A and B are shown apart, each in its own frame.
Chain A
Amino acid sequence: MKKNNSWKMVCALVSILSILTLSACSSSGPATAGASGGSEAKPAGESKVVNIGITNAPLMFNPIDQTDNTSIIVTSILFQPLMELDENLEFVPMLADSIETEDNQVYTVKLNENAKWSDGEPVTADDVVFTVKLIGNPKSIVSLSTRYAVLEGFDELGKLPEGASDVAGVKKIDDHTVEFRTKQPVDPNLFMEGFGKNLKPLPEHVLKDASPETLAQNPFFQKPTVVNGPFTFVTYAKDQYIELQANKDYFKGAPKLDKLNFKIMPSSNLVAQLQSGEIDMNFPGIGTISVQDFEKVKNMSNVNAVSGKPFNYQNLYFNNETITDVRVRHAIAYAINREMMIDNLLKGEGESMDVQYTPIHPYYNKNLTPITYNPEKAKELLKEAGWDSSKTLRLVVPSGNKTREQAADIIVENLKAVGINAQVQKFDLATSVQKLIKGEYDLDILGLIFILDPDLTTVFGTGSKTNYARYSSPEMDKLLLEGTKETDSDKRRVIYDKVQELIMQDLPQIALFADYRLLATNKRVLVGGPKDLGAFINVYEWDVEPK
Chain B
Amino acid sequence: MLAYIIRRLLIAVPVLLGVTIINFIVINLAPGSPVEMMIDPNTPPADIEAKKDALGLNDPLYLQYIHWLVDVFKGNFGFSLTTYQPVAQMIGERIGPTVTLMGLSFIVGLAIAVPLGIISATRQNSKLDYLATGGSFLGISIPNFFLALGLIYVFSLELKLLPSGGMITLGGDGGFVDRLKHLILPVLVLGTGIAGKKIRYVRSSVIDILGQDYLRTARAKGVREFMVVNKHALRNALIPIVTVIGLEVPILLGGAVVTEQIFSWPGIGQLTMGSIMNRDYPTLMALNLLAAFMVLAANLLTDIIYSVADPRIKYK
* Chain A interface residues (CB < 8 Å from chain B): 2-3, 6, 13, 16-17, 20-21, 23-25, 27-29, 32-33, 35-36, 39, 49, 51, 57, 59-60, 62, 66-69, 72, 140-146, 156-157, 159, 216-217, 221-222, 237-241, 243, 259, 261, 263-266, 268-269, 272-273, 275-276, 278, 427-431, 433-438, 446, 448-449, 451, 458-459, 464-466, 468
Contacts and interface: CB of A to CB of B under 8 A. Distances in A.
Given A237-B167, A430-B279, A157 B50 contact: yes
A320 B183 CA distance: 54
Contacts of A430: 30-33, 36-37, 277, 279
A240 B41 contact: no
Nearest to B45: A465
Contacts of B160: 276
Nearest to A459: B42
Q: Which 10 A-B pairs have the closest CB atoms?
A: A430-B32, A465-B45, A434-B31, A32-B174, A24-B96, A24-B100, A27-B96, A238-B266, A239-B266, A2-B231
23 contacts: A3-B230, A20-B100, A24-B100, A32-B173, A35-B174, A36-B172, A51-B170, A68-B39, A143-B51, A144-B44, A217-B84, A222-B85, A237-B266, A243-B170, A259-B171, A266-B264, A269-B165, A269-B262, A272-B164, A273-B164, A275-B157, A466-B41, A466-B42
Given A20-B100, A434-B31, A240 B264 contact: yes
Contacts of A35: 171, 174
Contact of A145 (B47, B164, B176): B47
A33 B265 CA distance: 19
Nearest to A44: B171
B36 A437 contact: yes
B103 interface: yes
A465 B100 contact: no
A28 B270 CA distance: 17
Given A68-B39, A264-B264, A458-B44, 17 more contacts: A13-B107, A24-B97, A28-B96, A39-B171, A49-B171, A141-B84, A146-B46, A239-B266, A263-B166, A269-B152, A272-B156, A272-B164, A276-B156, A430-B31, A434-B31, A434-B36, A449-B40
B262 A266 contact: yes
Interface string B44-61: 111110110011000000
Interface in B170-190: 170-174, 176, 179
Contacts, number: 199
B274 A57 contact: yes
Contacts of B165: 240, 265-266, 269
Interface string B68-102: 00000000000100111110000001101101100
B149 interface: yes
B55 to A, nearest CB: 7
A240 B48 contact: no
A431 B179 contact: no
Interface of B: 30-33, 36-48, 50-51, 54-55, 79, 82-86, 93-94, 96-97, 99-100, 103-104, 107, 149, 152-153, 156-157, 160, 164-168, 170-174, 176, 179, 227, 230-231, 234, 261-262, 264-266, 270, 274, 277-279
Contacts of A21: 100, 104, 176, 179
